Amino acid sequence: MLRVKLLTSLSKVFSDEEPDGFEKKSYSVLKNEILHFQTAIISDCDMNVNVNFDPRLNVKIYLVKEVPVGLAAYEDSDDYYLRKTPGLYPDLLVPFEQGTGIVADKWYSLFFEIGPFEDEAGNITFDFTVNDVPVSLEIEIIDKMMPVSETVYTNWFHSDCLADYYHVEVFSDEYWRIVRNFVTTASKHGMNCILTPVFTPALDTGEFLERTTVQLVDITLRGKKYLFGFSNLKKWVDICTECGIMYFEINHFFTQWGAKHAPKIIARDRKGREKKIFGWKTKSSGKDYSDFLRQFSVAFKSFIDRNNLEDRVFIHISDEPSLNQLKAYRSRADFIRSIFKGYKVIDALSDYDFYKLGAVDIPVPSENHFSEFYGKTEHIWTYCCCGQHKDYLPNRFIAMPSLRNRITGFLLYRYDIEGFLHWGYNFYNSQLSLRKIDPYKETDAGKAFPAGDPFIVYPAPDGTSYESLRLKVLSDAFQDIRALKLLESISSDSVADSYVENLTFNFYPHSEQWFFNTKEQINKKIKELSVQ
């Protein structure tokens, strides 16, 4: 006998435990909204599973698979986790195939994606069967469209990890095909900004170690002069734009954690031979590197102007500098701003002095330092990573409840945050890039970060990406912002704010039922105001 339970997208179904998530049998959605939900299934005998539904509906079904988690949580984490022990956790989504076999007495989850509903309005019933078990879901389609997202959203894209995992040559046709596939998935799920490796990013790289070269700018040496070619950068920009990317983060001009050195930069001599001209042995303030950046800035700004990218570019200095590195960081930031006048300088950092002293234009403080910046800056973003593992801060670790991920949208709207950043879209290395990892075997960068922090998509065998529960949930969070923006546009700031004004990064109800009730109230208010 097969048992079926209808669950929300926020449930995580472990194979060894009956899920006790919120059972919701009706939803309201906006016309261009994507609806996600799950069915948990278990059988008392081995069987093959088939799902039947009206093929005219825009429906995708995924099988949720468990992945190994070594480090689930740090020792000082809070109590808002599902589990903290090593083991198998649900996360990976693979397209469901009819006739998929399941093993007796183990729980499985089918993850459903329906929509958008742009050609429909009113009430519909989504009836389907899992084998012979009938399931029914009521959906009300509200005759309003969410606006295009105004929030800048980036998970750092590591193209070197794609080349390494698939063993393809950087800038080969196959490399570009794979990049396009992964960017398409990112854009589909709300990302509209992408880390762009003008030079090979000096991120999470141990001192004197190097990551695979993915430098998009061709450089030719002519004595102390440099010639710059932008064909690969142009291809990158065109592909990303075609996929729906709006903004480009230019990778950091100096190494992480203090801006002490130059990133790895490769050039060709007159005979076409490649050589490393800058790297770990290059002081960030050295004359040769400064002269190089001056020449580069002239050529790069010309490329930006030719391609009308002026309002679509962010410049990085160095990632996560600490307060004791402020002097060096400020010196390099002042230099970069002098050669990139008018460009937006943005960095992840958590000490307000960096902004107060003018070292950064757009600060990106971590969630736990956000309050120190809030209300004091012209522009504000926020980010989370492994450090935001306690005090109930929103995050996306595999061991966390999905609500802790989804609440991100309400909070970004609540504080009118312009951008959200995470460092790991597809980081398939161990910490400090000491070695390559298999993301299907190691989800924690070699037990360095809580599982799920380093990446949010998995590399499929065909060069496309498998999505994750966490990616879908975070995508829904950005839909929540758009719904609140729609409500704001047809009412007032105060009406939309009323649904989220009591929330903070540390305090929000840990209840699926509360969340979906609030979401339904927002949609109900949109409908009410739309028919007046």
Both tokens of residue 252? 């950091």
- For the chain, the residue count is 532
Tracing tokens 């990632």 back to the chain, one arrives at: 319
Question: Cα(415)–Cα(436) distance, rounded to whole angstroms?
Answer: 38
* DSSP letter string, 186-216: HHHTT--EEEE-SS----S--TT--PPP---
CA distances for 525 relative to 26, 31, 445, angstroms:
17, 15, 44
Structure token pair of residue 81: 């986790």
For 353-370, the pLDDT digits (tens) are 999 999 999 999 999 999
Do residues 71 and 84 lie in contact, with contact meaning Cβ atoms separated by under 8 Å?
no
Torsion of Cα atoms, 342 then 345 then 351 then 352, to 10° = 30
| Closest by Cα among 195, 200, 233 to 214 | 200
The 10 Å Cβ neighbour count of residue 300 is 22
CATH numbers and ranges of domains, the chain: 2-145 (2.60.40), 152-485 (3.20.20)
- CA distances to 199, 302, 434 from 239, rounded to whole Å, are 18, 20, 30
pTM (2 d.p.): 0.98
The pair phi, psi for residue 232, each rounded to 5°, is -70, -40
Quote the pLDDT of residue 186.
98
**Burial code of 159-198, b = ≥16 C-beta within 10 A, e = fewer?**
bbbbbbbeebebbeeebbebbbbbbbbbbebbbbbbbbbb
Show Cβ contacts of residue 311 under 8 Å, excluding neighbours closer than 6 positions: none
State percent of the chain over pLDDT 90: 96
Q: What angle do CA 352, 357, 358 make, to 5 degrees?
A: 100
Tokens representing residue 192 in the block: 């509209």
What is the rounded CA–CA span in Å between residue 244 and residue 252? 23
275-281: long-range contacts, CB 8 A cutoff, minimum separation 24: 277/219, 277/221, 279/210, 280/207, 280/208, 280/255
Token pair in block for residue 277: 């001209």
Q: Which residues contact 222 (CB under 8 A, 6 or more apart)?
A: 270
Q: How far apart are CA 242 and CA 440, in angstroms?
A: 30
Q: Which residues of the chain have pLDDT under 50?
A: none
Burial string for 227-260 (b: 16+ CB within 10 Å, else e) reads ebebebbeebbebbbebebbbbbbbbbbbbebbb
Burial of residue 95 (number of CB atoms within 10 Å: 0-12, 13-18, 19+)? exposed
Burial per residue of 380-393, b for 16 or more beta-carbon CB atoms within 10 angstroms, e otherwise: bbbbbbbbbbbebb
pLDDT digits (tens, 9 = 90+) for 482-521: 999 999 999 988 999 999 999 999 999 999 999 999 999 9
Six-digit token string for 116 = 């958008």
Kindly report, residue by residue over 259-290, the tens digit of the pLDDT: 999 999 999 998 889 999 999 999 999 999 99
The rounded distance, in Å, linking the Cα atoms of 342 and 151 is: 21
What Å distances lie between residue 460 and 181, 236, 314, 439, 510, CA to CA? Answer: 10, 21, 31, 11, 33
Question: For residue 243, which amino acid is it?
Answer: C
Amino acid, single-letter form, for residue 125: T
Kindly provide the residue ranges of all beta strands, DSSP E only, lying in 118-273, ordered along the sequence.
Answer: 122-130, 133-142, 152-155, 193-196, 218-222, 225-229, 247-250, 265-268
What pLDDT was estimated at residue 532?
62
Task: Collapse the DSSP code of 130 into the 3-class scheme (helix H, G, I; strand E, B; otherwise coil) and give the result.
Answer: strand
- Give me the numbers of helices (H) and strands (E) for the chain, helices first please: 11, 25
DSSP β-bridge partners for residue 154: 421
Give me the pLDDT at residue 468, please: 98
Token couple for 254: 């100096």
